[in-house]
Amino acid sequence: MVEWTDFERTTIQDIFSKMNYDVVGQQALARCLIVYPWTQRYFGNFGNLYNAAAIMGNPMVAAHGKVVLHGLDRAVKNMDNIKAAYAELSVLHSEKLHLLGDCLTIVVAAQLGAGFTPEVQAAFQKFLAVVVSSLRRQYH
């Protein structure tokens, strides 16, 4: 069981309540595909991913980015049992999911600017680590 402090709970709820899911989802996924190009192999049917501009403008990337963020919502609403929240979610989630988490951290940092203090960063990264670990659990 993960223990959350009041600060961590409030911080996570706050970040997600103010977030533009469409923008952040698209930016995080696009960034992941650009910065870590080997992750493109999971999206063979997404069409044109040949360069950064193509990825940034790709509508399937934008759509899937949105799906990802809404998927994170489940964890935000069930912080006390994230493992169960993802029990039936597709096992397709790769071992490299933490790379997407890193890109999401970067995008949120850019959005919040000075508001992304070390304490907020720690809470956010802890949350992502729990989510990623819960999704990886399905493998074994």
Cβ neighbours of 106 (radius 10 Å): 16
SS3 93: coil
| Shortest distance in whole angstroms from residue 94 CB to another protein | 19
Closer to another protein at the Cβ: 60 or 106? 106
Handedness of CA 77, 32, 46, 39 (dihedral sign): negative
| Shortest distance in whole angstroms from residue 24 CB to another protein | 12
| Shortest distance in whole angstroms from residue 109 CB to another protein | 4
Residues in contact with another protein by the rule CB under 8 A: 30-31, 34-35, 52, 55-56, 102, 105-107, 109-114, 116, 118-119, 121-122, 125
Closer to another protein at the Cβ: 3 or 88? 3
80 contacts 70 by C-beta, under 8 angstroms: no
The encoded tokens of residue 38 equal 């080997």
| Shortest distance in whole angstroms from residue 37 CB to another protein | 9
Closer to another protein at the Cβ: 40 or 138? 40
Q: What is the DSSP string of 53-83?
A: HHHHH-HHHHHHHHHHHHHHHHHHHTGGGHH
One-letter amino acid at 76 equals V
Closer to another protein at the Cβ: 10 or 78? 10
